[in-house]
Amino acid sequence: MILGIESSCDDSSVCVSEIATKRLLFHRKISQEAEHAKYGGVVPELASRLHAVDLPRLLEEAAPYLDDLQAIAVTNAPGLSVTLLEGVAMAQALSIAKGLPIVAVNHLKAHIYSLFIERDTIFPLLVLLISGGHTMVLDVHGYDEIHTLATTMDDSFGESFDKVAKMMGLGYPGGPIIENLAKKGDPDRFDLPIPLQHSPKIAFSYSGLKNAVRLLVEEHKPLDERTKADIAAAFQKAAIAHLMQKSKKIFEKIRPKDFAIVGGASANTAVRETFANLCAQYGATLHLADLQFCSDNAAMVARCGIDGWAMEDFTDALTIEVSPRANF
């Protein structure tokens, strides 16, 4: 069995998975969203204090499995250093006490493995990763063969939803709030620019669109409910059109057989529908994680750890490091 630990941002999560069958035996997550909502975004110091309270509680719930562990998988990058340290410190203590190897898991790779919980992997796979911290297209050939084909030049897709929600005073996290509001709005009342529409660059950018929304919000203050919904709908339409236009260029080059969308923002229904159409157009199969595994969780960390364990990709408990950034 392998223990999974996740604390890269505002979710404390612990799980136990069986290595041979990949079965998830225990999985618990405590989200801190309500605590951070008061401040309109994640407060790192508060997040780390909450992890310090919640992770040991979750570990205690996993106590019946601890004697059967063969390894520990823990997220060590990328993420908030002060929150990553909480999970890593717990992994270090357990590793030393029980003589267990540690698989240090890249959080972005863990999101890819959210597709394979209790399943075998599918490679090669073209992956669109959309989360609060990242917007990337990845060409994935295996556990340690991942190539970045496109990334964001500034804000990420999920982050732009969070910021637009904050501008309109709607709360945190903005993704589900904007998505729900957009359903009630007219996406054509306002004409927002699709980022890098006329650029040949295969990259993402959300800061220009975010600023265009800021100007719209200023212009229409105080916002009535109708205008809020129309802005949300226009923003979401432009944000997704950008994802689609750049991904389409990559589809033209790679012609993938298998394509997946992962990360917290992959829960967005309009994103899912848009990419289902793109896949149908190119004869690709669309893979999506179960909704419960789209946002940060330990199950995907342990699943990635199972492949790391098989390759003996271990990190020393005394020298494991955390980092806000990570490459493949």
Q: Which is nearer to ligand KG4, 113 or 309 (CB)?
A: 113
Shortest reach from residue 114's CB to Zn ion, in Å:
9
Q: Using the rule CB under 6 A, is 132 a contact of ligand KG4?
A: yes
Q: Using the rule CB under 6 A, is 195 a contact of ligand KG4?
A: no
Shortest reach from residue 257's CB to ligand KG4, in Å:
25
With contacts defined by CB under 5 A, how many residues of the chain interact with Zn ion?
A: 2
From the list ligand KG4, Zn ion, none, pick the one residue 78 interacts with, judged by a Cβ distance below 5 to 8 Å according to partner type.
none
Give the total residue count for the chain: 328
The dihedral built from the CA positions of residue 93, 98, 99 and 105, taken in this order, carries a sign that is: negative
Residues 115-144 touching Zn ion, rule: CB under 5 A, are: 131
Shortest reach from residue 183's CB to ligand KG4, in Å:
11
Shortest reach from residue 325's CB to Zn ion, in Å:
14
Residues 276-295 touching ligand KG4, rule: CB under 6 A, are: 295
Q: Using the rule CB under 5 A, is 296 a contact of Zn ion?
A: yes
Shortest reach from residue 207's CB to Zn ion, in Å:
21
From the list ligand KG4, Zn ion, none, pick the one residue 87 interacts with, judged by a Cβ distance below 5 to 8 Å according to partner type.
none
Q: Which is nearer to ligand KG4, 133 or 308 (CB)?
A: 133
User: What is the 3-state secondary structure of the chain?
Assistant: CEEEEECCCCEEEEEEECCCCCCEEEEEEEECHHHHHCCCCCCHHHHHHHHHHHHHHHHHHCHHHHHHCCEEEEEEECCCHHHHHHHHHHHHHHHHHHCCCEEEEEHHHHHHHHHHCCCCCCCCEEEEEECCCCEEEEEEEECCEEEEEECECCCCHHHHHHHHHHHCCCCCCHHHHHHHHHHHCCCCCCCCCCCCCCCCCCCECCHHHHHHHHHHHHHCCCCCHHHHHHHHHHHHHHHHHHHHHHHHHHHHHHCCCEEEEECHHHHCHHHHHHHHHHHHHHCCEEEECCHHHCCCCHHHHHHHHHHHHHCCCCECCCCCCCCCCCCC
From the list Zn ion, ligand KG4, none, pick the one residue 265 interacts with, judged by a Cβ distance below 5 to 8 Å according to partner type.
ligand KG4
Q: Which is nearer to Zn ion, 185 or 305 (CB)?
A: 305
Q: Are 186 and 233 in contact (CB under 8 A)?
A: yes
- Adjacent-strand bridge partners of 136: 129
Residues 256-275 touching ligand KG4, rule: CB under 6 A, are: 263-265, 267-268
Q: Residue 124, preceding bond cis, omega within 30 degrees?
A: yes
Q: Which is nearer to ligand KG4, 162 or 230 (CB)?
A: 162
Shortest reach from residue 296's CB to Zn ion, in Å:
4
Candidate segments 41-49, 130-138, 222-230, 240-248, binder of ligand KG4 by CB under 6 A: 130-138
**Other Cβ atoms closer than 10 A to 257:** 13
Residues 165-194 touching ligand KG4, rule: CB under 6 A, are: 173-176, 179
From the list Zn ion, ligand KG4, none, pick the one residue 161 interacts with, judged by a Cβ distance below 5 to 8 Å according to partner type.
ligand KG4
Q: Using the rule CB under 6 A, is 95 a contact of ligand KG4?
A: no
Shortest reach from residue 219's CB to ligand KG4, in Å:
24
Where does this chain bind ligand KG4 (CB under 6 A)?
9, 131-133, 158-159, 161-162, 173-176, 179, 263-265, 267-268, 295-296
Where does this chain bind Zn ion (CB under 5 A)?
131, 296
